[in-house]
Amino acid sequence: MTRTDITPRYRLDGPEEAPLVVLGPSLGTSADLWLPQLPALTRAWRVLRFDLPGHGGAPAPDGPFTVDDLAGGVAALLDGLGAERAAYAGVSLGGAIGTALALRAPDRVASLVLCCTSPRFGDPGAWRERAALVRREGVGPVADSAAGRWFTPAFTRAETYTAMLRATDPEGYAACCDALAGFDATARLGAISAPTLVIAGAQDGPTPPRGHADRLAEGIPGARLTVVEGAGHLANVERPSAVTREITAHLDRTWKGHGR
C-alpha cells in the first residue's frame, strides 16, 4: 500500500524568486551533506534540502515505506510550496528518490542529477540483513565501518559525516534499508524524460560506475555520465569542486525556471 503521509522536514536557502532545486541526501546523512554545494547553487537557484525519516533530527518513521513513498513526500513538499516544477539532485538513496519522482511525476521534474546512485542497489537480502542488525544493535556497527564505504583512504574528514550516521535514529536507518531492498527501477528508466546528468565516483564501492552509474546513463534517454576521479561514494563531499562544477553546468543548461 502506498503511503501518503510522508512529508520530509526541509530547509530553504537562496533567492526566493529563483527557480527551485531540491537536494536529496544519502542513507545515514543529513541535509548538511550538501553544504559543499550550497554557496554555488544559491547564487542562481532557490535550494530545498530535506532530511530522510529519522535522519538529521527528523522524526522517526511510524511504519514501513518505499522509495516511491519518499518521492511522494517530495511531491507533497512541492505542492505545499506552490512549486509546479523543480530540478532535483540526489546522492545514493537521495538519487533513487529522484529517479522515483521523475517516474511518478515527470511533468514536475525539470532537470535531474543522479549522484553515486543506482537503479537497483544490489542484493535485497543484504539490505534486510543490515536493517535487522541496526534494529538489534543500533547504528554503531554500521557507523564504525561507514568511512570505508563512503570515502577513499585519502579523505581526512570522514568523522564529520560518520557523525551524521551516529546521530541517526536506528529505526529511521533500518526503514530506509528496507526501502532500498525493495527498489528496482531498471526496467522503467526509459520512461524518464527529464534531462539527466549521472555522476559517479571512480572509487565508489557501494555504487561503482560499472554496473550502477552506467546502467542509469544507458537506460535514461539522453542521459550524460561523468566519472569523478579520486572520489568514493560521497563524491560531492570528497571532490566538491568537480561535482559542483558538473551540477551547476547541467542546471545552467537545463533549468532556468521556465514553465513554473
pTM as predicted: 0.96
Query: CA-to-CA distance for 18 and 5, rounded, in angstroms?
Result: 28
Q: Is the pLDDT of residue 33 over 90?
A: yes
| CA pair distance 15, 17, nearest whole angstrom | 6
Q: Is residue 2 part of a domain?
A: no
* Residue 260 pLDDT level (bands cut at 50, 70, 90): very low
Q: Nearest-CA neighbor of 237 among 140, 163, 127?
A: 163
Tell me whether residue 142 is in a domain: yes
- Give the pLDDT score at 240: 98
Indicate left, alpha or beta for 75 from its phi (over 0: left) and psi (-120 to 50: alpha): alpha
Structural domain includes residue 137: yes
Rounded to the nearest integer, the mean pLDDT of the chain is 96
HEC per residue, the chain: CCCCCCCCCEEEECCCCCCEEEEECCCCCCHHHHHHHHHHHCCCCEEEEECCCCCCCCCCCCCCCCHHHHHHHHHHHHHHHCCCCEEEEEECHHHHHHHHHHHHCCCCEEEEEEECCCCECCCHHHHHHHHHHHHHHCCHHHHHCHHHHHCCCCCCCHHHHHHHHHCCCHHHHHHHHHHHHCCECHHHHHHCCCCEEEEEECCCCCCCHHHHHHHHHHHCCCCEEEEECCCCCCHHHHCHHHHHHHHHHHHHHHCCCCCC
pLDDT confidence tier of residue 160, bands split at 50, 70 and 90: very high
Confidence band (pLDDT; 50, 70, 90) for 108?
very high
Residue 8, pLDDT score: 83
| Domain count for the chain | 1
Question: Using 50, 70 and 90 to split pLDDT, how confident is the model at 81?
Answer: very high
Tens of pLDDT, residues 189-215: 999 999 999 999 999 999 999 999 999
Residue 260 covered by a domain: no
**pLDDT value, residue 218:** 98
Domain assignment of residue 29, given as a range = 10-254
Has residue 165 got a pLDDT over 60? yes
Share of the chain above pLDDT 90, in %: 94
Is 249 within a domain? Answer: yes
Assess whether pLDDT exceeds 70 at residue 3.
no
Asked if residue 257 has pLDDT above 80, the reply is: no
> How confident is residue 7, by pLDDT bands cut at 50, 70 and 90?
confident
Quick check: is 204 in a domain?
yes
Share of the chain above pLDDT 70, in %: 97
Task: Tell me: pLDDT of 63 over 60.
Answer: yes
**What per-residue confidence (pLDDT) applies to 256?**
84
Whether 135 is covered by a domain: the verdict is yes
Question: Which range, of 6-20, 113-127, 182-196, averages the lowest pLDDT?
Answer: 6-20
| pLDDT of res. 4 | 56
Tens of pLDDT, residue by residue over 217-237, are: 999 999 999 999 999 999 999
Complete edge-to-edge strand list for the sheet that includes strand 196-201: 10-13, 46-50, 20-24, 86-91, 109-115, 196-201, 224-228
Q: What is the pLDDT of residue 259?
A: 40
Q: What is the CATH number of the domain that holds 192?
A: 3.40.50.1820
Query: What is the band of 2 on the pLDDT scale with cuts at 50, 70, 90?
Result: low
Report if residue 244 sits inside a domain.
Answer: yes
Q: What is the dihedral of CA 177, 179, 184, 189, to 10 degrees?
A: -110
